[in-house]
Amino acid sequence: METADPPRPPETPETPETPGTPGSPRVRRTPGAPRRPRTPGSRRQGAHAPGARRALRSARRLALPYVLIAPTVLALAAVLGYPLVDLLLLSFQDMTRRQLFSGTAPPWAGLDHYRTILSDGFFWTVVGRTALFTVVCVGATMLLAMVVALLMRRVAPWVRMTMVGVLVAVWAMPIMVAASIFRWLSDADYGVVNWLLGLVPGLDFSKHNWFDNPWQGFAVIAGVVVWGAVPFAAITLQAALGQVPAELEEAAMVDGARGLQLFRHVTFPVIKPAVVLVTSLSAIWDFGVFNQIWLMRGGQPEKDYYLLGVYSFIESFAVNRYSVGAAIAVITVLMLLGGAVVYVRQIIRLGGAE
């Protein structure tokens, strides 16, 4: 339906009910007096051509929203739409350093790059690795966030304040800062993690380098990703849980529902939209993860640490095979589309009138 949003009461608690600044106009209407729409400034309309004026005004009215969105549309088209098309074109061409600097048109390559990439075993290893990484990170993030959000409803107010404070502090940490901290925590010589694990009897982790083995290295990287992702997920889920009517849960409890049963059949259905939303968003973010790996491997990730984002970047900017990098990026975007469809559909459905 193509209707504008109906006026709703303010959704944000901070929004004051009336205009806060002095001198702002307020509704002054005597009860019963007919509400007479006046023209702006109540100028008298020229009697000679009211029809033309009105047509002009209604044309202006019709054009207004388009004028308003024009700058956004133009900016998106120029700096996002054009590069997207360019990316697609590039993946069908053969752009190397030479064409980049001489400015000559790169030769046409057709589907060659796609054929090479898709028949390359290494590419599929990277795809599998990226998928596994995404599933593990999203799974861990959602599970942890859900538990934390549920926990936040049960704790004393001061504990909840502490939890929110910590979550926000973690949320505010720039990715590069978080990655630096985790690199230090997992340092081979003086890292706290090695020391902690060394306390477990029978384990010797002194001088253990976590990045020698990619599985362990990815465990650290997943640690940073999950640590950084939990706050957003937990706070959003907690907000969603706040919308579960207390009567609903009480009624179910009277009917004998307990614990997991209560959660599965009463609580979860209410918060499901938020869960779907956060899950799809996290999946999209984790699938395209780049910075954490880049920093933790000191700007030179080994082949064992390639995920799709890193792979495409290295092909383009380290090996200067821009077209191959572009083709990998196109494939990545196509793979992400699945997650994107889920996300957009959920938002539209929640928006109702959209």
Partner 1 sequence: MNPSSARRSRHGRFTANALGLLFSAVMAFPIYWMLLTAFRPAEEIHHSPPQFWPGHLTLEHFRRAVDTPTFWANVRASVLIGIGTVVVSLLIGTLAAFALARFSFAGRKAFVLVILGVQMIPLAGLIIPVYLLLSDAGLTDSLLGVVLTYLVFMLPFTVWLLRGFIVGIPVELEEAAMVDGCTRLGAFRRVVLPLLAPGLVATSIYALVQAWNEYVLAYVLLSSNDKQTLSIWLVSFQTSFGTDYGGLMAGATLTALPVAVFFAIVQRRVATGLATGAVKG
Yes or no: say if 287 and 311 are a contact pair by the CB < 8 Å rule.
no
Enumerate residues 84-103 that contact partner 1 by CB under 8 A.
Answer: 84, 86-87, 90, 100
CA distance 241 to 63: 42
Nearest-approach distance from CB 276 to partner 1, in angstroms: 11
- The burial class, CB within 10 Å (0-12 / 13-18 / 19+), for 114 is middle
Sole window of 114-122, 134-142, 250-258, 341-349 interacting with partner 1 (rule: CB under 8 A): 341-349
CA distance 84 to 1: 29
Enumerate residues 227-286 that contact partner 1 by CB under 8 A.
Answer: 227, 230, 232, 235-236, 239-240, 274, 277, 284
Q: Which amino acid does the sequence have at 76?
A: L
259 backbone φψ class: left, alpha, beta (φ>0; ψ -120 to 50)? left
Residue 8 touching partner 1 (CB under 8 A):
yes
Residue 340 touching partner 1 (CB under 8 A):
yes
Enumerate residues 55-74 that contact partner 1 by CB under 8 A.
Answer: 62, 64-66, 68-69, 71-73
CA distance 120 to 99: 25
Binding residues for partner 1, rule CB under 8 A, total 129
Q: Which amino acid does the sequence have at 22?
A: P
CA distance 167 to 152: 12
Enumerate residues 278-337 that contact partner 1 by CB under 8 A.
Answer: 284, 287-288, 290-291, 294-295, 298-299, 309, 312-313, 316-317, 322, 325-326, 329-330, 332-333, 336-337
Helix (H, G, I), strand (E, B) or coil at 108: strand
Nearest-approach distance from CB 143 to partner 1, in angstroms: 13
Compose the 147-186 pattern: x for residues touching partner 1 by CB under 8 A, - for all others: -x--xx-xxx--xx-xx-xxxxxxxxxxxxxx-xxxxxx-
Toward partner 1, which CB reaches closer, 48 or 217? 217
What lies within 8 Å, CB to CB, of 294 at 6+ separation is: 301, 310
Q: What are residue 108's DSSP bridge partners?
A: 93
For 217, other C-beta atoms within 10 Å of its C-beta total 21
Toward partner 1, which CB reaches closer, 14 or 48? 14
Enumerate residues 27-56 that contact partner 1 by CB under 8 A.
Answer: 27-29, 35, 37-38, 40-42
Toward partner 1, which CB reaches closer, 48 or 61? 61
